[in-house]
Amino acid sequence: MSIQKPYSNAGVDGAGGYEFQKHCALYIFLEKYEDIKDSKYFICLEHHEDFLFCYLDKEKLLKNIDAYQAKKSSKNWTLDNTFKTIIQKILEVGVDLNSDDFNKVDKYFHNLYFLTNHSIKLSKDKVKNIINERNEIIKFNDLYDEIKNELQTLTNINTKNEIDNLIFSYIDFNKTFKAQKQQLVGIFNDVFGDTILDHKASVETLLSLFRDVENTLNQGNIVNLMDSSKRVESEKINQTLTVLTTQQKAFIEWRKQKDKYAELLKIPIRKHSSFELEFKNSFDYFKDLEQVEHQKIKNFVNDIDLSDCWTSESGLKKVIEEFGNTYNTQFDNISTKAILLASFIQTREEN
């Protein structure tokens, strides 16, 4: 069932103030990466909830969803009216996810996270559950009975079965957006290390994927997981990461085999520095769909049949020959050759 929500585009209207949710989504992705990198999944932003991690089986049926309501705060969260209203909305999201007409497995389930970078202190009748840097996650069923009973008063006939899916989670995340970016760069480095050349640029690249879907309107305020325009697919993320990791491999390859490649491409020694810059930049342009000419050259190289080539050297020779015989480009000689080598290495890695 498609679900119409009058506030479903609220995050789009206020996109400038919703960086925290995107930062949290990337933080969670990096935390999960080793566990999910070989899985099929998609991530939604501003679609049912602040962000969703949706996991699929081999038949592309929905197995489970982790739904996150991400809130920053300057003070502790307590059982006040603001907090209770947020919890009620989170439980309604659970109902909506069950109603969504995306095909699901028989044992489908979801988790409903309230995620924050400030302490949650829930107290009732002299008992207290605290979620913070020392106790980062607690499920509803693990709360003290007095607090569970208080939270159950927030349910209605529709949401009473959702409260067992509720999870409170603390994220050890800086308070300012600038500091969050710096923290994400550090985590990215921890996960990918020297397999990626520029961790800061890589963080910006993945955030831009999230931003694109976040800023896509829910048409007619209809929220439906079948809407592919609101999803960042695992295939797209993997493709992006392949480009990022290949850039580092390619740069190392050029440095190690500079003499051989320079001779094949006829790059004069005095042009090596400018060639290197164009070569490095080509990988960034491959990620930018607005760089049409770079995309065309890369696709041209990808379509060349290299089945009769046994070495990188013979493959690159064939690419140079076919390109020179059939393709005209607006780029100068050095730029063209840099793009050709980058395209050759990129498509070789992808294939």
Instruction: Write out pLDDT tens, residues 33-88.
Output: 999 999 999 998 876 778 999 999 999 999 999 999 999 988 999 999 999 999 99
Dig out the tokens for 241 from the structure.
Answer: 């990461």
Residue 15 has pLDDT above 50, yes or no: no
- In sign, the C-alpha dihedral spanning 184, 185, 189, 195 is positive
Averaged pLDDT, 100-124: 95
Cα separation of 79 and 83, whole Å?
A: 6
The pLDDT confidence band at residue 217, using thresholds 50, 70 and 90, is low
The pLDDT confidence band at residue 347, using thresholds 50, 70 and 90, is confident
Beta bridge partners of 114: 69, 168
Class of domain 3-226: alpha beta
- In sign, the C-alpha dihedral spanning 49, 52, 55, 60 is positive
Averaged pLDDT, 11-34: 78
Q: Which of 237, 214, 236 is nearest to 48 (CA)?
A: 214
* Spatial contact of 57 and 105, defined as CB atoms under 8 Å apart: yes
DSSP state of 164: G
pLDDT of residue 10: 46
pLDDT of residue 1: 52
Instruction: Write out pLDDT tens, residues 147-179.
Output: 999 999 999 999 999 999 999 999 999 989 999
pLDDT of residue 17: 42
Cα separation of 27 and 185, whole Å?
A: 10
